[in-house]
Amino acid sequence: MKHEEANKEIGGKEAKGQRSKRAEKQRSKRVGGNSEIPSSPQSPLPLISREGPTFPNPQSPVPNLDNWLEIGKIVSPQGLSGELRVYPVSDFPERFEVPGKRWLLRSGDTEPQPIELLTGRYISNKNLYVIKLAGVENCDQAEALRGCTLMVPASDRPQLGEDEYHVLDLIGLEVFMQASGELVGTVVDIIPAGNDLLEVKLHESLAGDKKQKTVLIPFVEAIAPIVDLKSNRIEITPPPGLLEINN
């Protein structure tokens, strides 16, 4: 899945011989960033892209982020020359690899400030990007940016391809059994994993007295063949036992 934006996105490029069904997830399915997520031979993986919302510390001024998408969090300096390690919350590698303007939200600020991305590269075994920002020349300057958030304007949502979806568009969709039309529940989150997973809050008719009120459903073509955003619904064909597997 890709996330981006809160404002999240699910999107997808085709990962090595497989057709994705969500939004671009390059970092992890190649991984929506750069790693790849294996798929079963009969069931191509959907891709979801996410760039998620920033949640401010309740003690600090509340940022006005309605028009902004979080793409990553600076976690530490890299080396002594001012490079930065960034944990991505976007599955679009170009957010970190293509030079150009980005925006930086510092702790306590209410608006992100423009900054220039000079270079970036992906470290696949750590699921991190290493980037170079203009004006950050040494380890001390890089250390001062630890914990800052990288942003882009909400209007800068990459165009998605066929079978690609923004995470935000999937949250709140109702999930139905394709064969019977029975309401299963409502999508409350998208969980990035080997396969992206729909976290579905079960309808009361299925939840009953069970302690487990949600179920995780792989967002792949074979199990979720129909995604109809206009009708606010996803139709699923789960294998036997899937809806009870978490109970």
In the numeric block, the tokens 């982020």 are attached to 65
Span 128-157, mean pLDDT?
94
State the Cα–Cα distance between residues 177 and 160, nearest whole angstrom.
Answer: 26
Q: What are the beta bridge partners of residue 74?
A: 86
Element (H, E) at 104: strand 100-105
pLDDT 10s digits, 107-139: 888 899 999 999 999 998 888 999 999 999 999
State the Cα–Cα distance between residues 146 and 76, nearest whole angstrom.
Answer: 5
Q: Three-class SS of residue 242?
A: helix
pLDDT at position 113 is 95
Report residue 243: phi and psi, to 5°.
Answer: -70, -15
Asked if residue 170 has pLDDT above 70, the reply is yes
Q: How does residue 8 score in pLDDT terms, banded at 50, 70 and 90?
A: very low
In the numeric block, the tokens 């996105």 are attached to 9
Choose the weakest-confidence range: 92-96, 123-127, 242-246. 242-246
Element (H, E) at 114: strand 113-123
Choose the weakest-confidence range: 31-35, 42-46, 95-99, 136-140. 31-35
Asked if residue 242 has pLDDT above 50, the reply is yes
- Per the model's pLDDT, the better-predicted residue between 102 and 48 turns out to be 102
pLDDT at position 44 is 44
Q: And the tokens for 42?
A: 């009969």
Asked if 170 and 17 count as a contact pair (C-beta separation under 8 A), the reply is no
pTM of full prediction above 0.75: no
Q: How does residue 30 score in pLDDT terms, banded at 50, 70 and 90?
A: very low
Q: How far is CA 134 from CA 34, 99, 112, 178, in A?
A: 24, 10, 16, 52
pLDDT at position 63 is 57
Asked if residue 28 has pLDDT above 70, the reply is no
State the Cα–Cα distance between residues 173 and 176, nearest whole angstrom.
Answer: 10
Choose the weakest-confidence range: 34-43, 112-121, 159-168. 34-43
pLDDT at position 64 is 61
Query: Of 23, 33, 74, which Cα lies nearest the Cα of 190?
Result: 23
Query: Of 151, 153, 136, 99, which Cα lies nearest the Cα of 121?
Result: 99
Q: How far is CA 55 from CA 42, 105, 130, 147, 200, in A?
A: 39, 12, 23, 12, 23
Average of per-residue pLDDT values in the chain? 77
pLDDT 10s digits, 44-62: 444 555 555 444 444 445 5
pLDDT 10s digits, 207-231: 766 677 899 999 999 999 999 999 9
Roughly how many angstroms between the first and final C-alpha of the chain, as a whole number? 25
Asked if residue 42 has pLDDT above 50, the reply is no
